[in-house]
Amino acid sequence: MLDLVTRAKRTPVALTAAFAVATAAVVAVAAPAAAGPWPDHAVTVVVPFPAGGSTDMVARTVAQKLNEKLGQPFVVENRSGATGAIGATSVARAQPDGYTFLVASIGVYATNPFLQPKLQYDPLKDFDLLTVAVRAPNVLVATPKFPASSVAELIAELKKNPGKVSFASSGAGSSDHLTAALFWQKTGTTGLHVPYRGGAPAISDLVAGHVDVSFQNINAVISQIKGGNLRVLAVTGDKRSPLLPDVPTLSEAGVVGADVFSWQAIAAPKGLPADVRTKLHAEIAAALNAPDVKPRMEEIGFEIVANTPDEFRAFLTQELARWKQVIEDGKISIE
């Protein structure tokens, strides 16, 4: 009888212990393995424009180097639409875990907020800003048939024929459109804006002489300039371009305050873990400055920036203020 009582007292304890061991085993089997150091699987690199453009090229160059260095796929996805807003919004809403980031241009970060009233992201609040990757000046080019061969002569034409000299752009609200608007504001002139659906058709019509002048990304028109198909009047950077050392800047030509760069920058959803943010920034900067990347970028007109997140934030704050003023003063709308 005593033995039965003892067994009865001990059995629940034994059963409880056995149950606990079994439960722990089940949990151990069912629970996913702890995540390893970032990255331990594929990373999505969102480009909010079609494949083949400058932003896409920068993204694919960086993605390839990160893949080589970190041993995981960095897969570029082109999510175009709404002047980059669709792709940017998708990144702003993604998990801030380091497995999705954005490579986009000046319009997505600095001008969309003032051109799209229903924009669903805030560039300063909804992203961890990582770095401005590259920048390149625009160039002021004219069809060879146009009578002006200098900035001073162009300004004279604009004042003689207000609103009649045609300026081609890759679209309303684009970098080249806004650079033209800034130029008109700084020179007290007006031109005729002719928007196209992209840079390629704008350049094609410029070469053909259907429009007069345009501000274009230097890498998009350098071959046309060197081939004699376009006449270059000025570069919009704060110094002369190594690709066009004999061409003056706008400041040198007497137009002060119109220095403009097109730029591509990299950001991630707000809230990245600090260690992931630090590593991602460091690896991107290393990729951009790699000996097989930097010279190739410079050959086509890009200057490597690769600045810090704090520097990017300060720069973007300045760009937002600047383009807000240009858009308001020019009463520019894309609707």
Boundaries of every domain in the chain: 43-135+262-329, 137-235
The total number of residues written for the chain in this structure: 335
Q: Computed from CA positions of residues 234, 236, 238, 242, in that sequence, does the dihedral angle turn out positive or negative?
A: negative
Both tokens of 238, joined, read 């704060």
Q: From CA 276, how far away is CA 302, in angstroms rounded?
A: 27
Q: From CA 195, how far away is CA 21, in angstroms rounded?
A: 71
Q: From CA 191, how far away is CA 188, in angstroms rounded?
A: 10
Domains 43-135+262-329 and 137-235 share a fold: yes
User: In the prediction, which pLDDT does 164 show?
Assistant: 97
Q: Which of these, 26, 251, 282, 3, lies nearest to 130 by C-alpha position?
A: 282
User: In the prediction, which pLDDT does 6 show?
Assistant: 44
Element (H, E) at 286: helix 274-288
Q: From CA 45, how far away is CA 287, in angstroms rounded?
A: 14
Write out the E strands in 204-293.
213-217, 231-235, 261-269
User: In the prediction, which pLDDT does 30 show?
Assistant: 39
Question: Is residue 143 helix, strand or coil?
Answer: coil
User: In the prediction, which pLDDT does 21 show?
Assistant: 41
Q: Are 151 and 327 in contact (CB under 8 A)?
A: no
User: In the prediction, which pLDDT does 198 show?
Assistant: 82
Both tokens of 138, joined, read 């625009």
Mean pLDDT (10-residue bins), the chain, 335 residues: 43 43 41 66 95 92 97 96 94 98 96 95 98 96 96 98 95 91 97 90 95 94 95 96 96 96 97 97 98 94 96 98 96 84
User: In the prediction, which pLDDT does 189 show?
Assistant: 97
Q: What is the DSSP string of 178-198?
A: HHHHHHHHHHT---EEEE-SS
CATH assignment, 43-135+262-329 = 3.40.190.150
- What pTM value is reported for the model? 0.85
User: In the prediction, which pLDDT does 35 show?
Assistant: 54
Fold type of domain 137-235:
D-Maltodextrin-Binding Protein; domain 2 (3.40.190)
| Burial zone of 63 (CB within 10 Å; 0-12 exposed, 13-18 middle, 19+ buried) | buried
Q: From CA 223, how far away is CA 37, in angstroms rounded?
A: 45
User: In the prediction, which pLDDT does 27 show?
Assistant: 39
Q: Are 245 and 206 in contact (CB under 8 A)?
A: no
